[in-house]
Amino acid sequence: MIKADYKKYILHFKQPAATSRGVYTERIIWFLFVFDSDNPAQIGIGECAPLPGLSPELDAGFTEKLTDICKNIERYYDRMPTDLTEFSSLKMGMETAFLDYQNKGTKIFHRNAFTEGKRGIKINGLVWMGRQEFLDEQIRSKLNDGYTCIKLKVGAIDFEAELALIKKIRRKYGAQNVAIRVDANGAFCPAEVMDKFKKLAALDVHSIEQPVKPGQHDLLARLCADSPLPIALDEELIGINSIRQKQELLDYIHPQFLVLKPSLHGGFGGCSEWLELAQASNIGWWITSALESNIGLNAIAQWVSTLESNLHHGLGTGQLFTNNFDSPLSLVNTELRYDINKPWRLSSLFND
């Protein structure tokens, strides 16, 4: 008989991580365990990693729903209920736990060139927020490492200082050599946004994520129609759950790109719906992780490995936390790869 349990786990950052929602020193996640009562050694593990300030589920009875899932796991296993639409990270955790359970706890859900160690996933080099010197140091390091796609957070310091950093990249690397993505996390005010777009476009910036705060659909539709810079939606997609709502949003705003995070945008099933609609509307996309541990990152990377995409994805590298889990995931020449010779080490998950 299938059973389930869960455990709260706190990841500790190696150094404080500044985001638009504040500075992280730790990351709280929950692991869902699915197992057979007659064979408890066969355990499927899924990671539920809602983000404070972004995940609506944290205000919608997250732990109560997780408890209900564990008590009624057979019902959830037979059919994913529709009452999980507001619980994106729980959906991702359940999808992962069920796949892992079905694959005898191997953590391999898709047997392909990626999990055989023959092919990597192209990722962008992420530059964290901070003072100008810190930003400059990170950019220099990413370029020296050979990244051909750099993602910069903008809106944290003076915009002209941020432009100066981009100009420094462009003096050495043209757009054909290094793509630059910027992410405003909704920081631009409507009165100034178009002027900033023009300055960024003049530097051959690839795209800008979420330039203004979510919910301003009329403004975003005008910006997507008139901007010289391609616009990618990210936070705008949170809480848009039904196929009808998703289609209406894309039809109204007409973005150039979508940035999809399974922990925030409906799990793998919800993200797959977004991808299908985006492809039908000729909208580009890429996949991003959201500060998950290597367990969640592994699930996201394997899902990405099944998709057809030539763009760089925003996947983590597993190197942010002091107490992450050793795994086959590794960074090789700016690609995320799966090393079949590296084992999983999960003792800290079960011993804490």
The answer to whether 101 and 35 have CB atoms below 8 angstroms apart is yes
Whole-prediction pTM: 0.95
Considering the domain boundaries, does residue 214 fall inside one? yes
**Co-location of 160 and 286 in the same domain:** yes
Considering the domain boundaries, does residue 9 fall inside one? yes
Q: What pLDDT, on a 0 to 100 scale, did the predictor assign at position 37?
A: 82
Domain assignment of residue 190, given as a range: 121-351
Average of per-residue pLDDT across 82-88: 83
**How confident is residue 135, by pLDDT bands cut at 50, 70 and 90?**
confident
Domain boundary among 71, 102, 133: 102
**What's at 9, amino acid-wise?**
Y
Considering the domain boundaries, does residue 111 fall inside one? no
Tokens coding 294? 């290597």
CA dist 2 and 39 (Å) reads 9
**Co-location of 270 and 193 in the same domain:** yes
Average pLDDT, the chain: 93
In sequence order, what E strands does the chain have? 2-19, 22-36, 39-48, 121-122, 125-127, 149-153, 179-183, 207-209, 231-233, 257-260, 284-287, 329-332, 335-338
**Co-location of 28 and 153 in the same domain:** no
Tens digits of residue pLDDT in 195-213: 999 999 999 999 999 999 9
Closest by CA to 325, choosing from 297, 345, 351, 341, is 345
List, by residue number, the catalytic residues.
Answer: 153, 261
CA dist 346 and 283 (Å) reads 39
CA dist 51 and 235 (Å) reads 12
**Co-location of 134 and 84 in the same domain:** no
Count the domains in the chain: 2
Considering the domain boundaries, does residue 145 fall inside one? yes
